[in-house]
Amino acid sequence: MRLIGKLAIRTVYYLLIIICMAVIGAILWSRITGGEPSFYGYQLKTVLSGSMEPEIQTGSVIAISPQRPEAMKRFEAGDIITFRADEQRLITHRIIEVRTSESGGQILYRTQGDNNDAPDSALVRPDNIIGSYTGFTLPYAGYFLSFAGTRTGSLLLLIVPGLLLFLHGAYSIWKVISQLEQTSSNHDGPDSPAAV
């Protein structure tokens, strides 16, 4: 039973290290390339408002499947999309109506946050859509990513994991040395034959 407990703790420990390294790698790569944080082709977005609660909590990180310009997908009512409201602002809301414009037959989407009383004032054009919500969300992780985007956060993300790995390595070395000393002292104990 004790062995199973140790194995479970080690598994969780190594899984956490792998997840942390993957997230740190995604964030660092996005900082180097100047792009958005992404993971296996999905973009990670931080939700900063409560307009989509309870589906998406404030401060969550969501994964969206990017909309490719060469393969513009047609969305339906009920789909949750992330779109560009202006140059600085992205919004993630649900499509409540699909329309066709009278001039040119372009498809337009009316959106609304699940927690909002009224639909968004402007219709969304397909070329403003960044991607669609995959259903994957990490509650409260957005607060961490927002902090990681700051200079202090980036620095801590480099220093803290390195320090933890160093301390773990130092502890492992100390443990091995202690075991060797204990084994050595057991062999040189009072029962060992005296030198002549």
Dig out the tokens for 100 from the structure. Answer: 């066709």
Distance CA 28, CA 37 (A): 8
Question: What does the angle CA 124 – CA 127 – CA 76 come to, to the nearest 5 degrees?
Answer: 55
The closest alpha carbon to 172, from 13, 34, 58, belongs to: 13
The closest alpha carbon to 26, from 138, 105, 101, 127, belongs to: 138
Instruction: Give catalytic status of residue 49 as yes or no.
Output: yes
Distance CA 62, CA 45 (A): 5
Distance CA 25, CA 158 (A): 10
Catalytic residue among 30, 38, 49, 65: 49
Active site residues: 49
